């Protein structure tokens, strides 16, 4: 006996009673259950399965296996009649996305002769692959407008079984699988007609809204990501709140938030240029002063210094000014107090004894830091804000090597 597919008779049926035809104990106390009738849609055609409960036990999965609809239940539902309840929020979401897929596919075909050759629906995303080499912003907007026009027209969606020899009377978006005797046709007037075994809404208006969220090239096709119904609302809400927060930060209306942000970035870049120029001047003066102050050890002048808020480029700029002097070595650090990290740059002028990469590795190893480079220049990092301690250790090690 075949399970009666209640989800075809009434895709809005949320609760039903049924008899158990067969049940099998699985690992971990779960049961595989076959019913005489079910409203649980098994995964298929790109639409995920329903979940819900059978006699208040969670239905974890529903799959078609060897022509049977098998419900995987968390426990033993007993032997008598069962009451099944499907997770309606999940199912309605699937119906919104899946019906939206029909509309979008119909529009792509009508406008650009582009076929839907792949459908993916998950909790995170809804995508179709269409046979187009490219898709412009303008084309995407046109498709989106046309799809939403079908939604707002609130057209009926019909599903019916037809014999294969009746198919010639229909203009189908895609050919049915050859293995079926009867074909289930799903049609939306003046939009789409195609064989489909999924669950659909009664009226296009229930899709609510269809928003294309993005697209990318996939081999010879375009993969279009979109959202329908409550997902489109959630997407709008997320972006609206983001836009509003951004606008509030700039005390501007939402429409003017982007220009305000661009002005902010320009200002930032201008300040950064000023800061870089000021640092170069400061580095020049500081390098001259420190090189004069430091007492040479075996003819070598070791300059060490920790800076706050410096990047790698700042350290390199200062190092270049030190190592331009004969017999000079610099042991530098940039401290990030917030992250509790420091980065290091050790550099030596030509002909200075000792290898900087070796010195850096030995200095950082005790605090779990790492570094690399060559004899003249080495860079690294350590998970500590106490850069002064590390620099002092390095200076002592280097001094002992130069003048033992």
CB 206 to Zn ion: min, Å = 14
Please give the residue whose beta carbon sits closest to Zn ion in the complex: 196
* Closest CB to Zn ion among residues 101, 317: 101
Minimum Å gap between C-beta 99 and Zn ion is: 7
Smaller CB distance to Zn ion: residue 77 or 100? 100
Nearest residue (CB) to Zn ion, 195 versus 371: 195
Minimum separation from the CB atom of position 116 to Zn ion (A) = 11
| Closest CB 53 distance from Zn ion, rounded Å | 26
44 versus 354: smaller Cβ distance to Zn ion:
44
Minimum distance, C-beta of residue 101 to Zn ion, in the bound complex (Å): 7
Closest CA to 348 of 319, 369, 368, 372: 319
The Cα angle at residue 400 between residues 322 and 327, in degrees rounded to 5: 25
Sites of contact with Zn ion (CB under 5 A): 186, 196, 198
In angstroms, give the least distance from the CB of 249 to Zn ion.
44
Nearer to Zn ion, 186 or 287 (CB): 186
Specify whether the CB–CB gap between 72 and 39 falls below 8 A: no
* Main-chain dihedrals φ then ψ at residue 226, nearest 5 degrees: -145, 175
Task: Choose between 203 and 402: whose C-beta lies nearer to Zn ion.
Answer: 203
Dihedral sign, Cα of residue 38, residue 39, residue 42, residue 44: positive
Nearest approach in angstroms of CB 47 to Zn ion is 7
* Closer CB to Zn ion, 30 or 98, in the complex: 98
**Minimum CB distance to Zn ion, residue 198 (Å):** 4
| Of 53 and 96, CB closest to Zn ion | 96
- Nearest approach, Cβ of 197 to Zn ion (angstroms)? 7
The whole-angstrom separation of Cα 300 and Cα 376 is: 14
Instruction: Give the integer Cα–Cα distance in Å for 171 and 148.
Output: 22
Given a contact cutoff of 8 angstroms between Cβ atoms, the answer to whether 92 and 207 are in contact is no
Looking at the Cβ atoms of 100 and 198, the one nearer to Zn ion is: 198
């Amino acid at each position: 006996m075949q399970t009666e597919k209640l989800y075809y008779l009434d895709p809005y049926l949320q609760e039903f009673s049924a008899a158990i035809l067969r049940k099998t104990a699985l690992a971990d106390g779960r049961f595989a259950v076959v019913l005489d009738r079910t409203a649980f849609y098994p995964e298929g055609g790109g639409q995920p399965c329903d979940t819900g409960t059978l006699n208040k036990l969670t239905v974890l999965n529903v799959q078609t296996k060897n022509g049977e609809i098998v419900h995987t239940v968390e426990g033993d539902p007993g032997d008598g009649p069962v009451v099944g309840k499907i997770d309606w929020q999940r199912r309605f979401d699937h119906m919104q996305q899946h019906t939206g897929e029909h509309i979008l596919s119909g529009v792509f075909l009508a406008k650009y002769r582009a076929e839907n050759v792949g459908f993916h629906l998950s909790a995170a995303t809804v995508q179709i692959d269409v046979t187009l080499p490219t898709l412009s912003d303008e084309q995407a907007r046109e498709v989106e407008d046309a799809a939403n026009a079908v939604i707002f027209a609130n057209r009926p969606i019909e599903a019916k079984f037809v014999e294969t020899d009746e198919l010639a009377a229909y203009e189908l978006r895609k050919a049915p699988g050859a293995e079926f005797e009867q074909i289930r046709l799903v049609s939306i007037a003046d939009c789409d007609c195609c064989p489909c075994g999924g669950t659909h809404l009664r009226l296009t208006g229930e899709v609510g809204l269809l928003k294309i969220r993005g697209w990318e090239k996939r081999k010879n096709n375009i993969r279009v990501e979109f959202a329908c119904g409550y997902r489109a609302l959630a997407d709008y809400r997320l972006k609206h709140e983001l836009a509003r927060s951004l606008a509030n930060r700039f005390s501007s209306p939402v429409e003017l938030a982007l220009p305000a942000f661009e002005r902010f970035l320009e200002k930032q870049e201008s300040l950064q240029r000023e800061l870089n120029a000021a640092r170069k001047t400061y580095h020049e003066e500081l390098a001259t002063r420190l090189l004069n102050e430091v007492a040479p050890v075996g003819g070598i002048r070791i300059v060490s210094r920790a800076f706050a808020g410096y990047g790698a480029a700042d350290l390199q700029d200062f190092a270049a000014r030190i190592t331009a002097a004969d017999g000079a070595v610099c042991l530098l650090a940039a401290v990030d107090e917030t992250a509790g990290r420091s980065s290091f740059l050790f550099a030596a002028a030509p002909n200075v004894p000792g290898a900087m990469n070796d010195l850096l590795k030995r200095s950082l190893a005790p605090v779990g830091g790492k570094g690399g480079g060559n004899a003249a220049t080495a860079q690294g990092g350590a998970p500590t804000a106490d850069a002064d301690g590390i620099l002092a250790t390095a200076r002592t090690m280097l001094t002992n090597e130069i003048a033992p």
